[in-house]
Structure 1
Amino acid sequence: MPLDVTAKGVYVIAPTPFHPDGRLDEPSLDRMTDFYLGTAGADGMTILGVMGEAPKLDGAESLAVSRRIISRAGKAGIIVGVTAPGFAAMRALARGVMEAGAAGVMIAPPNHLRNDDAVVAYFHQAVEAIGSDIPWVLQDYPQLFQVQMTPTVIRRIVMDLPSCVMLKHEDWPGLEKITALRRFQAEGSMRPLSILCGNGGIFLDFEMARGADGAMTGYAFPDMLVDIVRLSREGKRDAAQDLFDAHLPMIRYELQPGVGLAVRKYVLMRRGIIASDAQRRPGAAMSATARDEVEYLLSRLGRHDARAKLPALG
């Protein structure tokens, strides 16, 4: 089903599995999809995002990966990142994945935008390029893209462009932004909008309390994120907080710039979800010391969450 403003829950940001020689690992892609949407209980997946190494794939590979995941996902919603330097490539991928059955696409602003009007104009042009019939997610990640979007700017984009149905909220600090956007809705000055949050889930406990609809991030224990969102919806805030607190050291470690993807892929490999923690070059690998630190964190986490009790390394 096409993505709309009622979307909620957890849409896992998926890495792209590779063999050590850089080839796409299709069996791991299938196993990862089955785990996220089956065992972990996620509502959907977001692919070809920042942590999906999208710039390292060519156009044909991007479309092939998307089609494979979409065909395996059943009724689960698949959102595809289509951010590109030019609108021709963005349009080609957006139209291609929607024809394959994607629920929607995600677009981030380029880092050269320096004022509010330029930001709003860019998204007008992006929608004109991909077509106003495609539902899309506005990615707000100023730490990476170096583009600041205030709540007022987001409201302008949402009100100008009805095909914008979701905000991927990754500002930091960003709790007051969620509050401001929900206040706009309550006042009637902004139409309803789904808000899913990123940043490895590091503020998910409070983001849910502020009115977020769920998470769109890629922590190596997405099944924990599903639990946090469920417990928050059920009003079991202390139970959600206890689980969050147990995972916080691992979340923090994985959130490190540069090496974070290597940590995430390593833990997913240790959990048996992907066969290799390989990244396509260029990529930041973990040192032996970092691996020891991750194993230490896993051993501590395993005292509180059985999902982290992993077989000993040989």
Structure 2
Amino acid sequence: MSKKFAPLPPGVWGVVATPFQGSALDICTDSLSEIVEAYQRIGATGLTVLGVFGEALSLTSEERALVLEVVCESSTLPLVVGITALATRPAIDEVRVAQAAAGERISAVMVQANSARPTVLIDHLRAIHAATGAAIMLQDYPASSGVKVPTETIIAAATACDFLVGIKAEAPPTAAAIAAITARVDVPVFGGLGGTGLLDELLAGAAGAMTGFSYPEALVACVRAWREEGYAAASAALRPYLPLINFEQQPGVALALRKECLRQRGWILDSGVRTPAAPFPEALHAAMRLHLDEAAHALAETVA
């Protein structure tokens, strides 16, 4: 089956956090610009905006449009825009808001798998594409959607939808799912989950990573090393950062941990999160500093 759109290029697509400021937790456009500019400096392939870690569910339509406008002004990187709705009509509305704000800068909209039944998922994706004309990236992330989707359903959707340009596999065991998908469909598959399974995902056939991390330079270096030199080089590039990757992905507080790590790096001014996200646990401050210092040392050695 020929594809309607070019597949998403391989590499690291940085998932952009939405920075807030002050007691009102308004969007901090200065910090947002800094994050986006930093991703471009370090060689990210593109940006994923308004994803789960972008706290899109806590944003109004006007705030989502503002985020996209700031991102477009601050970078020339291509965009994947997250769509939070699981129902078809609200998802279409979200796509249209994104298209009005970012237009041709959008390479794809990321739609969550909303049903274990292939016919339901395929009809959902086809309806969104028919109404908006958008290329779609399919995200399988049951921790966010609450929907457990068999890998066979993802494969069926990728086979049936010629407007699919990528798949984001975030249903553990991710490497097993990626291996099954890449063996049967010609659609690039990206890992997520903060890079916790990145090496195994690359071995399984992943095109790269679409995720956030407070030291995304490590993810870029890992994927680049994998493509140019293979597993040993990729492992060496990522290994010094694995304690911090593991630290950031602690269930329930992962968003607050990453935002505080980004604040410690100077990439954002305030690490506040909106409800229902949990705040940063102060008891983890010492561990965070240790892991950040190790990561900073590793990055300094790489640059040197």
- Does the residue aligned with 2:190 lie in a helix, a strand or coil? strand
The answer to which of 125-134 and 6-15 deviates more is 125-134
1:270 corresponding residue in structure 2:
264
Using the TM superposition, give the Cα deviation of residue 3 of structure 1 relative to its aligned residue in structure 2, in angstroms. 6.6
Using the TM superposition, give the Cα deviation of residue 7 of structure 1 relative to its aligned residue in structure 2, in angstroms. 1.7
Distance 2:298 2:66 in 1: 39
Using the TM superposition, give the Cα deviation of residue 6 of structure 1 relative to its aligned residue in structure 2, in angstroms. 4.7
Pairing 1:181–2:184 present = no
**Aligned 8 A contact 1:124 1:161 in 2:** no
1:219 corresponding residue in structure 2:
213
Aligned length: 295
Which of 18, 21, 26 is the equivalent residue of 1:23?
26
Pairing 1:127–2:126 present = yes
The answer to which of 127-136 and 154-163 deviates more is 127-136
**Aligned 8 A contact 1:63 1:93 in 2:** no
- Does the residue aligned with 2:65 lie in a helix, a strand or coil? helix
1:64 corresponding residue in structure 2:
66
**Aligned 8 A contact 2:263 2:270 in 1:** yes
Map 1:98-117 → 2, pairs under 5 A = 98-99=99-100, 100=102, 101=104, 102-110=106-114, 113=115, 115-117=116-118
Distance 1:46 1:3 in 2: 18
1:43 corresponding residue in structure 2:
45
Map 1:1-314 → 2, pairs under 5 A = 4-21=6-23, 22-38=25-41, 40-74=42-76, 76-99=77-100, 100=102, 101=104, 102-110=106-114, 113=115, 115-117=116-118, 120-131=119-130, 133-184=133-184, 190=185, 192-306=186-300
Using the TM superposition, give the Cα deviation of residue 85 of structure 1 relative to its aligned residue in structure 2, in angstroms. 4.8
- Whichever residue aligns with residue 128 of structure 2, its letter is A
- Does the residue aligned with 1:208 lie in a helix, a strand or coil? helix
For 1:239-272, what per-residue CA distance to the aligned partner results, in whole angstroms no more than 9, with x for missing partners? 2212322111111110111111111111111111
- Whichever residue aligns with residue 51 of structure 2, its letter is G
**Aligned 8 A contact 2:10 2:207 in 1:** yes
- Does the residue aligned with 1:106 lie in a helix, a strand or coil? strand
Using the TM superposition, give the Cα deviation of residue 296 of structure 1 relative to its aligned residue in structure 2, in angstroms. 1.5
1:187 corresponding residue in structure 2:
none
- Does the residue aligned with 2:229 lie in a helix, a strand or coil? coil
- Does the residue aligned with 2:81 lie in a helix, a strand or coil? strand
- Whichever residue aligns with residue 85 of structure 2, its letter is A
Distance 2:181 2:282 in 1: 44
The answer to which of 230-239 and 44-53 deviates more is 230-239
**Aligned 8 A contact 2:15 2:47 in 1:** yes
TM-aligned CA distance change 1:217 to 1:156, over 3 Å? same
For 1:29-48, what per-residue CA distance to the aligned partner results, in whole angstroms no more than 9, with x for missing partners? 1111101112x210111111
The answer to which of 26-35 and 146-155 deviates more is 146-155
Provide the TM-score with structure 1 as the length reference.
Answer: 0.87
Q: Which runs of 5+ in 2 are unaligned?
A: none
Provide the TM-score with structure 2 as the length reference.
Answer: 0.90
- Whichever residue aligns with residue 26 of structure 1, its letter is T
TM-aligned CA distance change 1:308 to 1:260, over 3 Å? farther
**Aligned 8 A contact 2:113 2:149 in 1:** no
For 1:117-146, what per-residue CA distance to the aligned partner results, in whole angstroms no more than 9, with x for missing partners? 4xx413423431353621111001133333
Q: Which runs of 5+ in 1 are unaligned?
A: 185-189, 310-314
Root mean square deviation, CA, Å: 2.2
Using the TM superposition, give the Cα deviation of residue 287 of structure 1 relative to its aligned residue in structure 2, in angstroms. 2.5
For 1:124-178, what per-residue CA distance to the aligned partner results, in whole angstroms no more than 9, with x for missing partners? 2343135362111100113333333333211210122111110011121121222
**Aligned 8 A contact 1:9 1:43 in 2:** yes
TM-aligned CA distance change 1:240 to 1:270, over 3 Å? same
The answer to which of 124-133 and 29-38 deviates more is 124-133
Distance 2:302 2:88 in 1: 42
Distance 1:93 1:70 in 2: 17
